[in-house]
Structures are given as structure tokens and as C-alpha cells.
Homo-oligomer: A and B are copies of this chain.
């Protein structure tokens, strides 16, 4: 039982008395060898602890890399974790490996990541959002790299797109709240400088309200990340400025839950005195004393669908260019 830590096809070939090309054919399940040869090669490979070297295979002329890059804004958000989970499972099942990256909502960081990961000659990339630097787009185009843009839908993707419209999410919530009789709406946001998708939701929300004749009264968009505390203090700030609001829509569920606790602390009755609406569909939102009115996002499904579309493209099949995975507004007891 010899072991070197790194047996190559050559080693197996020597041990078996055939050429390394034959070994390659046997181990990749090709044809053109006898059963006897197959057995001897297979046994030698097992005995030597052979581990195929994908680096060498991908390096060759064929460029058969099975690496896929996936870049999300941040990993501390539960939503992106779920997306990643969907991506990873699907890729793994299809025989691909995922290289991850984060861009902190910065297109420039995304470009740096794309440049880095491109040097591994990946088979394809999954990017979050539809805003990219010119450099990124140029890089992807000139390398003819299969790409899926996820999360925020675009009707003219670089290559493929899987997601939903953030603007529509905001608009739908605006219309819903108007139907519920709300007339003086506010908005509490976060990541003001960075998150264009959050901003799209806010704009869709404001537009729908304006179209309904009761425009957005006030908004408080923090520079900070969207967390519970930020929701708490964001609502406090907003209400200090505009005390007569009758409903507040939040950047996401974490912030909305923070807002709910502010109301509880101040004795503001929800939904009687003030309605609260979130976005995202955190599991926590559905087990609150009062179920949060929110929009549920098909995170895992987006991950899965994007990975499958990308692999289809890589394999030369013709996947659907734009896949819409609709969100679902779930009326709760808070608005």
C-alpha cells in the first residue's frame, strides 16, 4: 500500500503497464479498452489513492473547468445565505464547484472580484443585481463568459437573468397599503449610498403611493446596514419628524421587527395607531405575536434556478434568458 499523496495517471500507467492515455480513458469512463485493462487500472488507481487533477484537466486546451463564481453583496444577510444554499446544492448536484465572493453593494468591488475569479477560468459566474461597472461588462463580454444576473430582474441581461423586480415589490406594497386605507405613509431604509435594489423598492413604493393620490409623507434612509437596531432608531427618528404617519414600510424584515419593538416600547398600537410592513420574508417575521405584513422572496428557488440556468448555458443548451420568480406579498396583522 504505497502512498505519495499525489499519484498521477503516469504512476498508474507504470503500475499497470499501459499508457497514461488508456488510464485517462478508463478513469473518465470512456471506451476503447478491455474489461481486463479496466479492472487493473481501476484497482491500481484505488491502491495508489489517485485523486484526479482538475487543475491539469481545466488547464488543457479544452478548458473544461467546473468552477462557478458566485458574488453576493454580503453573507451576513440570511436571505443571501439562502440564495447561496440553493446555488451550492444545485451546482454540487450538477458536478460544479462554487467560488464565493462579496461586493458590499459596490460595483467596483464586484469588478475586482470578477477580475480575480476570472484568473481561475471559471465555467460561468453568478452576479447579484443588474448594476455593474463598464469594466465588468466588458470583461465578461470579451471573454464570452456565461453569466447569470440574479436577485434584481433585468429585461436586457448581459447573458441570463433570474429574479424579480424590486421596484414592483415596492409598488405592490404601496398599493396594498392604500387598499387597506392607509393615507400617510413613511419609509425607513438603510444602506442609502450602496443598495440600489433597496432604493428601487423605495421608489416603487413612493410611485405607487403618488399614483394613488397619497404620496409618501417622509422617509428616513440610514447609511448604516439594515439591522434590528437600525429599524428601531430609524423609526424613532422618522416619527420625531413626522408624528402623524399611519403606516411605515421598512427596507427589510429585520428593520421592521426593530420598528415593531420601538412601537411596543412607546406604547404605539400596531396596527391601530401605526401600520408596519417589512420585506424579505424572514422566518422570524411569521412567528411574531402579530404576524408581520411582508413580501416573501423565493431565495432558495432563485439560487437553484440560477445555477441550473447557468449550467444549461455552459453545456451549450439554450436556457430561458429571463426567469421571473415572483415574490408574494403576505398580509399579516401589522398593517
* Interface of A toward B, CB cutoff 8 Å: 3, 5-6, 49, 51-56, 58-59, 65, 67, 74-78, 80-82, 84-85, 88-89, 92, 97-102, 113, 115-121, 139, 142-144, 227-229, 232, 254, 257-258, 261, 264, 283-284, 286-289, 300
Contacts and interface: CB of A to CB of B under 8 A. Distances in A.
Given A84-B75, A97-B117, A287 B228 contact: yes
A70 to B, nearest CB: 9
B287 A144 contact: no
Contacts of A121: 53-55
SS of A interface (majority):
helix
Number of copies: 2
A75 B85 contact: yes
A254 B99 contact: no
B51 A119 contact: yes
Given A81-B75, A82-B76, A283 B228 contact: yes
Given A99-B98, A143-B6, A118 B88 contact: no
A142 B2 CA distance: 11
A76 B65 contact: no
Contact of A99 (B99, B115, B283, B300): B99
B102 A284 contact: no
Nearest to A144: B5
A257 B74 CA distance: 25
A100 B81 contact: no
Nearest to A283: B228
Contacts of A77: 81
A283 B257 CA distance: 11
A284 B264 contact: no
B88 A55 contact: no
B76 A88 contact: no
